[in-house]
Structures are given as C-alpha cells and as structure tokens.
A and B are shown apart, each in its own frame.
Chain A
Amino acid sequence: MIAPSRDVVDRLRLAVGAAHCITDPTELRTYEADGLTGYRVRPGIVVLPSTTEQVADCVRIARDANMPVVPRGSGTGLSGGALPTEGCLVIGLSRMNAILDVDVPNLRMRVQPGVINLAMSAHLGPLGYYYAPDPSSQSVCSIGGNVAENSGGAHCLKYGFTTNHVVAVRIVLEDGSVVDVGAEHGDPLGYDLTKAIVGSEGMLGIVTEVVVRILRKPQSTRTLFATFPTTDEAGNAVSRIIAAGIVPAAIEMCDTLAIEAIVASTGVDWPLDVGAVLLMDVDGVEAEAAHTAAEAERIAKASGAIEIRTPRDAYERDLMWKGRKSAFAAVGRISPDYYVGDGVVPRRSIGPVLREIAELAAREGLRVANVFHAGDGNLHPLVLYDARKPGESERAEHVSGEILRICIRYGGSITGEHGVGHDKQFYMGELFSDDDLETMNRVRCAFDPQRIFNPAKVFPTPRLCGDRPGPYVAHETEKQDLAGRG
C-alpha cells in the first residue's frame, strides 16, 4: 500500500476537517471496492467533503502531490468505476446530499451529487412531478454516480437515460478551478460539454452540482404481467408490441432460472413452470394508456401468452416491480457466485443471442439466468458458478467474456448502463478501433491533460490488457433487501 505523505494528510485534514478524512487502514477497507466487489484496491486516503470549495481544495492538494483522484458516490456501480487506483485519493461525495432548488414552473431541480436517485422523486412526488431515470438501485445510488455512468433503468425505453435529463453541472477541474457547464434552459452556447461529462465515468472532473429536468407525472400507468412458454414467444410479443407503434414506458423480461431466483428471494407468486415472464408499463393520458394496454394484451395473447395479470392496485404493481428489480441479488439464492453481464444487442437479435448464450453455457456446463430490458435489447445474463469447484470460476469468466463478444458480433455493445469502468476495459479494444479510442481520449485530454481523475478506467491500457470481468457479489444494501439492481 502506498501511503500519502504526512504533509498531504495534514493539508487534506485542514481542507475537510479531520473527522472527514479517513486514513485508518480498517476504515479504508470500506472504500476498497464498489458494487463490483471481486476487485479490491486499498486507497491511499479518503476524504468526505461537504462543499464544492472543499472538493476543489482536495483536488489541488492531490494534484500537487501527484496523487490520482477517484471520485465515489454511493459505491453501488457494477463496473468498478469507483475502484481505487493504488495509493489514490478517493473523494466520496455522499455528504453532499442537499436538494438545492426546485423550480417546478421551469421543470428544473438543482441537487448536490450525493443525493439519492429515489430521494429526488420522493421530494417531487407530493408536487405531482418526478425524475425519470430509474436504475434498479435507485433507492441507494446517487445522482452523481448516475451522471458518471449515464445510468439507465427500466423506464428509459420511453423517457431516456441520465444524459437526456441532465442539462447542466458544476464541475471541479483538474487544476482545482470550478466551472458551470451547460444551460439550465435552452441550448448551451458552444460545445455541449454536459453531454461529454455525463457517462465519462469520473474521468473528466468532479461534478458537485447537477441540474436535472423534472417531469409531470402521467395521468395513468398500466402494468401488464404475462407469462410465456419460452423466451422466443415473449421476444416475439415484444417485437410485435413495438411494431404496432406502442412505445411502452418499460418492457422487461425474465427467463425460467431468473423467475426461480426471484420467487425464492422475494416470495412473489410468479409461476415456476413457464419459460419467460414479461413485465410491461404503458403510461400517458388515461385514454391513451387504456388503449395501449388493451392493445398490448391482445398482442401478448396472440403471441402465445399463457397467463396475463394486471395488478389490482399500487401495492400489487409495486410488488411486481420489486420482483424484477431485486433479480440480481435474488440470484444469490440459487447460486453461490455469479457474474453480471450488461451487453446490448439490436432488438431483433434477442432470440438468436439468447440461444447462443444458452449453447455456450451448456458447452461449459454452467447455467445462465437472464433478466433484461427487452425493449432496448439490453441483456443482463447472470452466469452462475461455484467458486469452490475447481475450474468453475475460470469457465464462468470465459463465458461472461464470450457473451460480450456475441453482443459485439451482433452489432451491439458491451455495456448498456453499468459502464466500462475497470470491468470491461479490455473489451473496448474489440468494440472500437484504436482511432476511435484515441478520439475519445482527446476529449479526456482537453479536460484533464495530467490524467489525474480516475486514470485507470475505460481505456484498454497495455497494463490492464487481459483483465477479465469480475464476479458479482451482492451489495450490503441488497443483502438487507433495501435495493435492487439492473
């Protein structure tokens, strides 16, 4: 472990207060990993600032000392985006959790980065408004982390991702200067740097304030739960619903193994003898939601649905969604270890890709559970294994990697919402050419020429080539059933 010098520690303590400066090796262990807990690196020191000025002071101190800086939100990320770099300064932003301003007539909300995603909608709910992107971890993940990863969620099929809802940010740059980027209203003047910052995985600077667009709640939301003999019929239903011109708010699929895990974990009364479950929301004005829900139900039946359920009330609806959103942690009930995938394929390829994944898993003697955002082709294959059995970890790693290659071969992507981080950086070289990556790196260099922010992520550096995806371990909050993922 590389420890920071006495002088650096003193300066950081002065900057944020000794109580918010963590140097004790035992306490530092909390910050060794994020949601991708298979990888652990001890940070040099952790600070928990409470103001933009404190963040800027810390960045200047780190820069003077040539320490890499790794920003961190709630630490729920699944790609190792907040994995420390050896000896780095981790700047944890969870204390900066104030909602600064709500401007309902102008549909804007200004928050600090540590505000929990769901807290924004909870705050807006009584006013009749909400913040749209809803990652399954929304009860614990922070808006700052969402900005870093361009987080998605089930309902981004209709409403878009974090990038479509963040209009401006305040950011601390590598020289410790603070700038406001973007425009609260209308078009930002000049290059739209906000669009570069969202999804940049903490590599361009540290965001200390976020201005988001808020939405009026829809008049009506209708939820449809349907079971099918196989994922093929369910996939056809999805294709036909979308071909009919319906844009569902969300349309999610789980296969048999995932259903088994969800039932075991949450106790929902989903049938275990089906090949697939579809969970769908349509929303809008009452007449529109009623029409599209009826149309979707008709299409589902015509596509071979075995059973269709509609929730009687909000409680039943929440239970259905809880089942889906708890899927990642639920898989812990049926397998001691598993990898979480996040590949994307064109929607029409979902069927053939699922078959290839099943064949691949069968060849390696492993099981794969599938829960995914069917509407946009974002798969979450969960590769199950038992690390105690010789060779199984290696086979599971191999299968996870090959699934990403299948996604690339079908014209898709290696990550739809979890980010590249440390986990998938090796595969970036298979998805993009050197010229593509070099072009992205120019953006990074314009912001951070010294590469002090999160330096070892996203790009497949020679040092990290050959690294393979890490195993999934349930986050503490998931074990306590406080939050889901995916």
Chain B
Amino acid sequence: MTQTLEPKSDEDVAEMVRSTGDQAIATVGSATNLGFGNPAEREDIVLSTRGLNRIVDYVPEDQVVVVEAGITLGELQVELGKHGQRLAIESLGGDGVTIGGMLATNAYGPSALRYGTLKDLIVGVELVRADGVVARAGGKVVKNVAGFDVSKLIVGSLGTLAIITKATFRVHPLPESTRRLTFNAKIANVFPFVLALREAQLEPSSIAVRINGEDATIEVVFEGFGPGVDAQIAACEGVAKRVTLSVVSAANVACAHTVGIEGQKKYRLKATYPPTEFARIAREIKGEALAYPSLGVVHFGDNATAVASLRATFESLGGTLVVQNMPDEWRGKIDAWGTPPPAFKIMRALKDRFDPRRRLNPGRFVGGL
C-alpha cells in the first residue's frame, strides 16, 4: 500500500526523507502526467509537492523569482503578470502542471526558439537529497559561475537525483505586442520557409507546425514592441509569398499559440532530429503530428507500433524517440527512452553518488537509472 505524504515546507520534505529509511519515494506535483518514462522498480511513498506552492521571493525590478516546486505554472504566471512579467515557457499539459513537474521532465513549448528551455531560465535550485540533506546551487542572480551548475543538471532528471523543493528563475517582461500568422503548406515547403525567415533576419518567438499527411499548418508568432512586430508580420507575409505559402489568418493574440501547445494530451511520443530532416521525418510519421521545425522537435503518435518502427530512424539521425505519456498497457513492454547514450557510465555514476540506495524514482529514467 503506497503511502502519500504532503509536506508543507522544505524542512518537512527533508524530515520525511530522513524518517522513511530505505523506502522508495515518487515525487509528484499535480499528477497530470504520471506516465512519463518507465514504471518505477518500486514505489513505497508518494510525496506530493502541492503543499509547497509559495512564491518565496519576487522582486520585479530584478526580473528574478524564487518559487517552491509545487506552485503551478498558471499560479505563477498570474502573480508575474500583475507586474507585467512572465516565465517565458509554455506547458503542453496546460497551466495546472507544477514547476517541479516541468523541471523534472524538462517541459517546454514552441517559444523555446527565442527564450530557451527551463535549463536556460533556471538560475538556482534547492534540493532535498536522498539522504535528507538540504542543498542549494546557483543563486538569485542571473549571472553566476560560482560552483558546478547543479541547477541545470537537475532539469530533466525525472526526480532520480534529488527532490527539487525550490527553484529560482529569470523572468521576462510581457511583450507589448504579440501577433500570429497562420499558413497552409505542404510539408516539403516547411523547412525552406524556416530558412527563408532566417535569411530575412526575422526573429519569430516561435514556429509551430501541425502535420497531417502531406499537409501542414504553420503558425509563426512575433513578440516585442508594436512597431517591430508590425514590421516583422509584413516581412513574414512577403517571405511566405516567395515560397508560395498562402496566409490563412493573421491575429493579434494574448496567447501565442493554438496548435503549438496542444501536444501532451493528444500525443504520447516526442522525437528529436536535425532540423534539416524535417520533411523526411514528417513523411515517416505518416499521420498527425506537432513539430517545432527550428528546434528539431516533433510530438506525435498514440500507438505502440510507432515506437518500434520509428525509434531506429530517429536514433540513426542522431536524435531520440521518447515516450512522454505511457499508458498502462504499454508498461513493461516498451522502453520509454531508447538506447542509452555513450556517456551512460557517467550517468550511472551520478545516480550512485546522489542516490546510492536507489530511493528516488528507481528505474524510471534512461537505462534503468
């Protein structure tokens, strides 16, 4: 019988970890996606971070915010929005996901094109280690090279190295203007269009593509001050004409994307590839998909056969195919991650150093980490 613990502070977390011996701990936030990765080898305790949902420190002038891990992205954005700021990241699972969950899974949306991922936005972290010790890395200033960058190392580690209790982020001003253009295209035209935008020195904050067979719908979003955004929209329409795309719609929008962030509920798989291979992979997927063509990312698939048939293709291109939302019936049959990378021995050594008794999400991550 799994026991659920609900700490209210980082000291609570440390005490709970210390007082539960060798029991295995699964840390969960809003529990919006418990199917991320492989099933754990064992799971004795569920530790919910939802009681850790405070903004610890926020000075808008410094554009830095310190939060507890259990705050949701939506809750955080509301507070930042009051001061004309935001954490420049989108969640494919909606605004109800926790910051801790996003950090654990390295979640990001299409605007990573301009703002990077949480690895680029995080500047400090507080952790509870598997031995119940509280440790910090980084700090509260954006520019800081004191000590090893444990903050970035912990992003995407799926709770297997330590429990994240607090994180500090750089935040950005909300743009004065956000405008979106939508185009219909054939998949063969998508990457040439991306290159043409780049050649024209335009700076979209995101490009997202919905793929359906040979057809594609491209959304391009520009953010910034009014005059710059207006000029970019006009220039982007010109570029689109040159590569023979037709404009479907233009809109001033509060939320940058419609198709760009619907991924997690619809698609179970995420793959990466060199951006120049876009047309090839779009054809091989043979169905609906959501891609960020400049980033070399595609979300697609809801059936297990796609994993088997396409993983080798992505891996041969130097990319990956990962199951981001595994249904119960796949468990034990399909590996979520694929071939462990060449540096796996270092990863195993890290796991051994941070969690020698294998208490934290044992077995869920790459290669059984």
A74 at the A/B interface (Cβ < 8 Å)? no
Q: Which residue of B lies closest to A195 (CB)?
A: B152
A180 to B346, CA, bound (A): 11
Interface size class of B (residues with CB under 8 A): 35 or more
Is B127 part of the binding interface, using a Cβ–Cβ cutoff of 8 Å?
yes
CB of A105 within 8 A of CB of B224, answer no
Q: Which of A222-255 contact B (CB under 8 A)?
A: 239, 242-243, 245, 247
Query: Is B202 on the interface with A (CB-CB < 8 A)?
Result: yes
Contact of A185 (CB < 8 Å), options: B119, B274, B349: B274
**A439 at the A/B interface (Cβ < 8 Å)?**
yes
Q: How far is the CA of A397 from the CA of B335 in the complex (A)?
A: 57
Give the chain B neighbours of A304 by CB distance below 8 A.
none
A191, CB-defined interface residue at 8 Å = yes
Query: A156, A191, A216, A437: which contacts B161 (Cβ < 8 A)?
Result: A191
Whether, in the assembled complex, A346 has its beta carbon less than 8 Å from a beta carbon of chain B, the answer is yes
B172 A247 Cβ-Cβ under 8 A: yes
Q: How far is the CB of B158 from chain A (nearest CB, A)?
A: 10
Are A420 and B133 touching (Cβ within 8 A)? no
B147: which of A286, A418, A428, A449 is its contact (CB, 8 Å)? A428
- Nearest-neighbour CB distance to chain B for A77, whole angstroms, equals 11
Using Cβ atoms and an 8 Å threshold, which residues of chain A touch B141?
344-346, 376-377, 411-413, 416
A189 pairs with B320, CB closer than 8 A: yes
A292 close to B (CB within 8 Å): yes
Measured CA separation A188–B117 after assembly (Å): 13
Query: Residues of A contacting B225 with CB < 8 Å?
Result: 245, 288, 291-292, 295
Instruction: Kindly list chain B residues whose C-beta atoms are within 8 Å of the C-beta of A216.
Output: 198, 201
Stretch at the interface among A94-102, A309-317, A331-339, A440-448: A440-448
Contact of A416 among B145, B274, B337 (CB under 8 A): B145
The segment from A1-9, A117-125, A157-165, A465-473 that touches chain B is A157-165
The answer for the CA separation of A449 and B148 in the assembled complex, in Å, is 16
When distances are taken between beta carbons in the complex, the residues of chain A under 8 Å from B267 are: none
In angstroms, Cα B126 to Cα A432, docked, is 12
| Residues 97-143 of B at the A interface (beta carbon under 8 Å) | 106, 116-117, 119-120, 127, 129, 133-137, 139-143
Q: Which B residues are CB-close (under 8 A) to A414?
A: 146
Residues of B with C-beta under 8 A to A437:
147
CB of A436 within 8 A of CB of B147, answer yes
Considering the complex, give the chain A residue whose CB is closest to the CB of B60: A243
State the CA gap A164–B149 with chains docked (Å): 12
Contact B276 A106 (CB under 8 A): yes
Bound-state CA distance A301–B62 (Å) is 22
Instruction: Say yes or no for B84: interface residue by CB 8 A criterion.
Output: yes
The reply to whether A376 and B142 form a contact with Cβ atoms under 8 Å apart is: yes
Given contacts A439-B137, A443-B350, contact A218 B201 (CB under 8 A): yes
Q: B148 to A443, Cβ gap below 8 A?
A: yes
Chain B nearest CB from A212 CB (Å) reads: 14
Whether A190 touches B201, Cβ cut-off 8 Å, given contacts A245-B176, A458-B147, is: no
Take A191-B350, A193-B343 as given contacts and tell me if A417 and B318 are in contact as well, using a CB distance cutoff of 8 Å.
Answer: no
Residue A44, interface by CB 8 Å: no
Q: Give the residues from 241 to 281 in chain A that come closer than 8 angstroms, CB to CB, to chain B.
A: 242-243, 245, 247
Q: A186-B320, A346-B62, A413-B146 are in contact. Are A163 and B274 (CB under 8 A)?
A: no
Kindly state whether residue A184 has any CB partner on chain B within 8 Å: yes
- Which of B146, B149, B224, B345 is in CB contact (< 8 Å) with A196? B149
Query: For residue B229, which residues in chain A have a CB less than 8 angstroms away from its CB?
Result: 288
Task: Tell me whether B55 is interfacial, beta carbon within 8 Å.
Answer: no
Q: Which residue of B lies closest to A289 (CB)?
A: B228
Inter-chain contact A435/B135, CB cutoff 8 Å:
yes
A137 proximal to B (CB < 8 A)? no
Q: A190-B341, A439-B137 are in contact. Are A285 and B203 (CB under 8 A)?
A: yes
User: Given contacts A149-B145, A186-B295, A415-B144, are A443 and B150 in contact (CB under 8 A)?
Assistant: yes
Q: 7 smallest A-B Cβ distances: which pairs?
A: A186-B272, A288-B228, A287-B231, A195-B152, A245-B173, A446-B349, A439-B135
Interface residues of B (CB under 8 A from A): 59, 61-64, 84, 106, 116-117, 119-120, 127, 129, 133-137, 139-150, 152-153, 155-157, 161, 172-176, 195, 198-199, 201-203, 224-232, 235, 271-276, 295-297, 318-320, 322, 337-338, 340-347, 349-350, 352-354, 365-367, 369
List 10 extra interface pairs beyond A285-B202, A376-B143, A413-B139, CB under 8 A: A150-B145, A190-B367, A191-B161, A200-B148, A345-B141, A416-B145, A417-B145, A420-B147, A445-B349, A458-B147
Pairs A–B under 8 Å by Cβ, sample size 14: A106-B296, A189-B322, A190-B347, A190-B365, A191-B161, A287-B230, A288-B203, A344-B144, A348-B61, A377-B62, A411-B139, A435-B135, A439-B133, A439-B150
Contact residues of A with B, CB < 8 Å?
105-107, 128, 149-150, 152, 156, 160-161, 163-164, 173, 179-181, 183-193, 195-196, 198-200, 216-219, 239, 242-243, 245, 247, 284-292, 295, 344-348, 373, 376-378, 411-420, 424, 428, 431-433, 435-440, 442-447, 449, 458
